[in-house]
Structure 1
């Protein structure tokens, strides 16, 4: 499509993701504003501070109590509304799945059209770990009731933010 950003945003919304509206004077204001629940904040980006500190001794399961995780996506796929994370962005692989609420920063220049284009990116050749995520975790297995956060993040919030 002519506008990859518009296509990506529509697909991410369809998958249950929330789009945060940028603030011209304070780019991180929408991120801080959405953090209303008490609990540890893990920030894997320099743009915002967190109070959960990763150390060389941090185990993947240690992130189980994190309320908010803030990460930058390596890139996004317009066709599927997917965000790609590698170990470089996540710093510890569970930081994209164990926080209750995930906030993702995405540079609009890092949106590709489809999965064919995604698999041509350097992340798939150079990263030891890469994963796609589209929206919050959800399941409707039990009596057809939709439950968010059953096997991963309860909410996925995305903010367009240039690197």
Structure 2
């Protein structure tokens, strides 16, 4: 049934080469709850088959992508689809993009963790102050600086 209608089954998503037969099969592949790295990788699969689509299907797919993807991913994906790159060039380009996205994600997670630790230290310092502990003890226990504690 899936092949008859040009659709993909969920089990086909992880295959190395997916035949994108029409707009519906491309959208099915891309319209999943996935992170931006996975989305770029799947867009690369679509890009390798993009030129086999009819002009109408290309237009529909680009229009759909333009409306559902946020910047800066939108520009990257549309650039990939509109390029005349070989399959190997698409893979290289998307590998570089996904590496950059992964690095940015890791940096954001690290920054979030540090901010969370700081917020927790400030909460603890507040409690310690309310219990009458000295600023010197609070600095030693929380690792905060005196200025942070005085601002509480």
TM-score class normalised by the smaller sequence: under 0.3
The higher-RCO structure (CA 8 Å, 6+ apart) is 1
Q: TM-score, normalised by structure 2?
A: 0.25
More helix by share: 2
More strand by share: 1
Larger Rg: 2
Q: TM-score, normalised by structure 1?
A: 0.24
